[in-house]
Chain A
Amino acid sequence: MADEALFQFLHNEVIQYIYKSSEHGEMENGRCITKLENMGFRVGQGLIERFTKDTARFKDELDVMKFICKDFWTCVFKKQIDNLRTNHQGIYVLQDNKFRLLTQLSAGKQYLEHAPKVRKRNGGKLTCQALFIPGQLSPHEWFSLPLSLQYLAFTCGLVRGGLSNLGVKSIVTAEVSVMPACKFQVMIQKM
């Protein structure tokens, strides 16, 4: 019975590894996010398989999403999704006001120090920008994709993988509103 902290340590180390072993550059950032997301996908598939062994069939798509928000989220993150919104046309927004994988980033200095370094253009010279500073991210600075996305990519995959094995094809993205709150957007794809 592995402790929750262990997963968080491992998750952070996986992110470090993926980024360290890549070239630096805008393209690579995307590639790293994709790698993390794919890993999360496989884990999500496996996890949901074990989890729903004895669960009854889901009535509909909304039922599936509620399951993800309540049972699945509680199991993985020890709390439920705080807010679920939908346009009833296949788009769902899951809001977690205190996302466990971000709380370390905002609270613990030790993690800020060791957070992945991101290169940022600065008058033509490449410099290393060490930290994600909550709330000060310019949307135009796509060179330095928010660190937080790196910390959300795996979970996006987790959700996508879980849904996939429940028969729901989706695209999952995430954004940070104010640390440590974040939103996961699920777009159901018609098969």
Chain B
Amino acid sequence: MIQHTSRLGKGYLTKKESDASDDLNSELFTLTYGALVTQLCKDYENDEEVNKQLDKMGYNIGVRLIEDFLARSSIGRCQDFRETADVIAKVAFKMYLGITPSVTNWSPAGDELSLILESNPLVDFVELPDNHSSLVYSNLLCGVLRGALEMVQMAVDVKFAQDTLRGDNVTEIRMKFIKRMEENLPAGDE
């Protein structure tokens, strides 16, 4: 079972001095996400299935989240993929998760990049037990990005390249631009 342990160490103390209720709101999301992943692990036999399901759910959230984002951020149309990546890192991640990943490791063709997350609110208090080594705990994020970008006519492939939950130093999301899509009806729920 995935456990939530109170990690009242360095990570908690170095959080920005913010409203107590803001912190709690973040924890509401984090804890709910944890409950969801726990439920999925119960429902599905293996980690791959859970990963897929998280991606699907993320996609469904992403296709709706984009409207909320565009309404609240009044960002205009991005000129290119680089600008898109910047907006994602500096505006979207900041708005929704309160963190600003850095955008690095661009491919020579400029169609692939990494988002490096120093911290990941989803994994606060989370430890992965040994029998879930291939679980991509935060896979929801990949789906969200994919779904949101699809709604602005960009087909992308998103996946985790590094994960602090699995022992890496940082969390790295690798995002690849596939193609620009025709304007058409949304694919809808998966």
Partner among B24, B30, B53, B60 whose Cβ is within 8 Å of the Cβ of A75: B24
Tell me if B25 counts as interface (CB < 8 A to partner A).
Answer: yes
CA of A21 to CA of B36, assembled, Å: 13
B90-98, B129-137, B160-168, B174-182: which lies at the A interface?
Answer: B90-98
**Which residues from chain B contact A39 at a C-beta distance below 8 Å?**
32, 35-36, 39
Tell me if B48 counts as interface (CB < 8 A to partner A).
Answer: no
CA of A17 to CA of B190, assembled, Å: 11
User: Looking at chain B, what size class is its interface with the partner chain?
Assistant: 35 or more
CA of A132 to CA of B7, assembled, Å: 42
Main secondary structure of the interface of A (DSSP, over half): helix
Tell me if B31 counts as interface (CB < 8 A to partner A).
Answer: yes
Main secondary structure of the interface of B (DSSP, over half): helix
User: Looking at chain A, what size class is its interface with the partner chain?
Assistant: 20 to 34
Given A1-B121, A2-B97, A114-B189, are A7 and B60 also a contact pair (CB < 8 Å)?
Answer: no
Tell me if A171 counts as interface (CB < 8 A to partner B).
Answer: no
Known A-B contacts: A10-B29, A46-B125. Give 14 more (CB < 8 A).
A1-B121, A3-B97, A6-B96, A9-B65, A9-B68, A10-B32, A10-B61, A13-B57, A18-B39, A35-B39, A47-B28, A47-B31, A76-B24, A154-B32
A–B complex contacts, Cβ < 8 Å, 25 sampled = A2-B28, A2-B29, A2-B121, A4-B25, A5-B68, A6-B29, A6-B65, A7-B28, A7-B29, A9-B61, A9-B64, A10-B29, A10-B61, A11-B32, A14-B36, A16-B189, A17-B57, A35-B39, A39-B36, A42-B35, A43-B28, A43-B35, A46-B125, A49-B6, A110-B67
